Amino acid sequence: MSELNYLSAAEVLKRFRDRSLSPVEYLDALEERVDETEPLINAVAETLFDEARAAAKAAEAVYTSRPSEARSLEGLPVAAKAEHPIKGKLFTDGSLAFADRIADVTHPIIDRIVDAGGIIHLRTTTPEFSCAPFTHSNLWGVTHNPWNLAFSPGGSSGGSGASLAAGTAPLATGSDIGGSIRIPASFNGVVGYKPPYGRVPAMAPYNLDTYCHDGPLARTVADCALLQNVIVGPHPLDVVSLRPKVTIPSSFEGLAGMRIAYCVNLGDWFVDPEVEANTRGVAEALRAGGAVVEEVALDLRREDVARAAEIHFSAIFGSIVGLVDDEFAELLTPYARKFAAMGRRYSAPGLFLEGLELEAGVYNVVGPLLERYDALICPTSGIPSLIAGDDYVDLSRSLDDLGVEIDPIHDTIMTIAFNILSRCPVLAVPSGWASNDVPTGVQIVGRTYDDATVFRIGAALEEIRPWGYQHGRYPRFLDANGVAASAAS
């Protein structure tokens, strides 16, 4: 591992500008790291290093002879979630059913990254159809968590999160329909942002789905803001994309005067004691930083949230997966087929209205709270991670060390409530580590369309309580015996 692999994107760009580092040299370091880590984590669906090197050489010429023309991401590699199509490249949705499909359009956020001088050097793995909070598929195999290979990096942007943690990319794209940016942020110890609905342009028809959000992942809050400011803004092909363009400030005041609520379980979600302790540690850090931080009780019921989400998914996402299942059932993963079955189950007349009423009930709980507080802090997931390669089709299982039986997804993952509350911005940041060496994380939930506040809180927390990358703590690639693999060296 080179020290270059864990530089922040901001530092890399600074070195490009002062010419102490060339874009080609940096790309070479990332490629070497891919060669080291991919046999262990399998986070890359496609490498684009030949094209990337040509772009890096062109960026090097800009910094050498025309530095005033350097764009905001000039020469900086960015890993793209494979769900984001690139014209002329494979567009498989992680499914054998579409193993040979070629994209005929490029996603707006990819266009914006390239227009800003960014270089797409990797495309990262997802679960099939991006419909799971873990990452493995029949097409790409199992993606592992760099901190502990026995566990998943989360999903559906799991390959992006794992690539950041492994040091193969400084920035990455993600998408989030039920937590798919925030879950990998938590499990990999990185930062992820679910922008409020409409802030970042999306592609039809999912741009019309209020649960859907495209957004950035990075290793620092500032880097996450850097990529968010590139991809944000109205787009001529997305009717819901918001005007005017709203960007994240480059600096923030401290926490003095802020009022922040925190809730460990949102109501009745299961939370592992280690996750709870790390969440309380975040609250204490924010209090030490000058904010008024108060623990609150919320009356969100996970059964209501889950039913609202299932009704919503059945109408759009689940029905689309169901059409694929009708034709290609023998090629699909068990979890994708289960998702398709959910779409068929929730199809009775009147359910759509019931779903809307349940969704309104979620905001009836959280909305008044956010009138009294600037933001809400809660865990991203009640457990540190999910097991790599498990389909979680049989969801009920025992956690022997705690003596309880839970559904490891619906009883623990706390993200989907904030897809229901889609206009609330949510920044996911690290909160610490569990005893299995896997990171834990919290969500910073803001008032509707108040992007800047969640970044202000995240930036202050990062300064008060820097996470591992700032202190030289990197993934150890633990194997099944708890022994560090060679990629960590």
Least confident of 81-90, 138-147, 313-322: 313-322
- CB 474, CB 468: distance < 8 Å: yes
CA separation for the pair 129, 328 (Å, rounded): 13
Report the percent of the chain where pLDDT is more than 70.
97
Give a yes or no: residue 260 inside a domain.
yes
Q: Is 435 a catalytic residue?
A: no
Give a yes or no: residue 106 inside a domain.
yes
**Residue of 147, 162, 298, 172 whose CA lies nearest to 231:** 172
Question: Which among 22, 81, 381, 422 is annotated as catalytic?
Answer: 81
Q: Model confidence at 110, in pLDDT bands (50, 70, 90)?
A: very high
Question: Which among 95, 152, 156, 431 is annotated as catalytic?
Answer: 156
Give the other-Cβ count within 10 Å of 307's Cβ: 16
CA separation for the pair 92, 133 (Å, rounded): 18
Mean pLDDT of the chain: 95
Residue 244: predicted pLDDT: 97
Q: How far is CA 42 from the centre of its chain?
A: 17
Q: What is the pLDDT of residues 198-221, one digit of tens each?
A: 999 999 999 999 999 999 999 999
Is residue 176 classed as helix, strand or coil in its secondary structure?
A: strand
pTM of the predicted model over 0.85: yes
Number of domains, the chain = 1
Q: How far is CA 366 from the centre of its chain?
A: 22
Maximal C-alpha separation, the chain: 65
- Looking from the CA of 223 toward its CB, the CA atoms found within 13 Å total 27
Helix (H) or strand (E) holding 388: none
Whether omega for the bond prior to residue 205 falls within 30 degrees of 0, making it cis, is: yes
Is residue 428 classed as helix, strand or coil in its secondary structure?
A: strand
Tokens (6 digits) for 232: 């944000």
Give a yes or no: residue 58 inside a domain.
yes
CA-based torsion, 410, 142, 172, 480: positive or negative: positive
The 8-class DSSP code of residue 157 comes to S
CA separation for the pair 408, 385 (Å, rounded): 9
Tokens (6 digits) for 134: 């873990």
Mean pLDDT of 46-55: 98
CA-based torsion, 314, 320, 325, 331: positive or negative: negative
How many residues are recorded in the chain? 489
Residue 400: predicted pLDDT: 46
Residue 397: predicted pLDDT: 55
CA separation for the pair 348, 364 (Å, rounded): 26
CA separation for the pair 447, 219 (Å, rounded): 24
Q: Judging by DSSP bridges, how do beta strands 292-295 and 397-399 pair with one another?
A: unpaired
Q: Judging by DSSP bridges, how do beta strands 259-262 and 191-194 pair with one another?
A: unpaired
CA separation for the pair 205, 198 (Å, rounded): 13
Q: Model confidence at 379, in pLDDT bands (50, 70, 90)?
A: very high
| E-strand stretches of 420-473 | 426-433, 439-446
Give a yes or no: residue 144 inside a domain.
yes
Report the percent of the chain where pLDDT is more than 90.
90
Token pair 């005007």: residue: 243
R_g over Cα of the chain: 21
**CATH code of the domain in which 413 resides:** 3.90.1300.10
At 150, the amino acid letter reads A
**Residue of 276, 288, 300, 316 whose CA lies nearest to 358:** 300
Q: Judging by DSSP bridges, how do beta strands 426-433 and 141-142 pair with one another?
A: unpaired
Q: Model confidence at 481, in pLDDT bands (50, 70, 90)?
A: confident
Helices and strands counted in the chain (H then E): 14, 15
Bridge partner list, 428: 192, 443
Residue 317: predicted pLDDT: 87
- CB 194, CB 181: distance < 8 Å: yes
**With 90 as the cut, is the pLDDT of residue 482 above it?**
no
Question: Which among 180, 186, 422, 431 is annotated as catalytic?
Answer: 180
Q: How far is CA 159 from the centre of its chain?
A: 10
- As a dihedral over the C-alpha atoms of residue 122, residue 48, residue 227, residue 459, rounded to 10 degrees, the angle is 40
At 303, the amino acid letter reads E
At 276, the amino acid letter reads E
Tokens (6 digits) for 293: 């931080």
DSSP string, 29-77: HHHHHHHHHHHHH--EEEE-HHHHHHHHHHHHHHHHH-GGG--TTTT-E
Q: Is 347 a catalytic residue?
A: no
Residue 402: predicted pLDDT: 54
Give a yes or no: residue 234 inside a domain.
yes
At 487, the amino acid letter reads A
Mean pLDDT of 456-466: 97
Give a yes or no: residue 133 inside a domain.
yes
Domain of residue 56 covers 3-304+351-488
Give a yes or no: residue 208 inside a domain.
yes
At 194, the amino acid letter reads K
DSSP string, 235-291: BTTBTT--SS-----S----STT-EEEE-SSTTT----HHHHHHHHHHHHHHHHTT-
Q: What is the pLDDT of residues 341-356, one digit of tens each?
A: 987 877 666 798 999 9
Q: Is 186 a catalytic residue?
A: no
- CB 157, CB 174: distance < 8 Å: yes
Least confident of 119-123, 276-280, 471-475: 471-475
CA separation for the pair 114, 71 (Å, rounded): 10
Give a yes or no: residue 343 inside a domain.
no
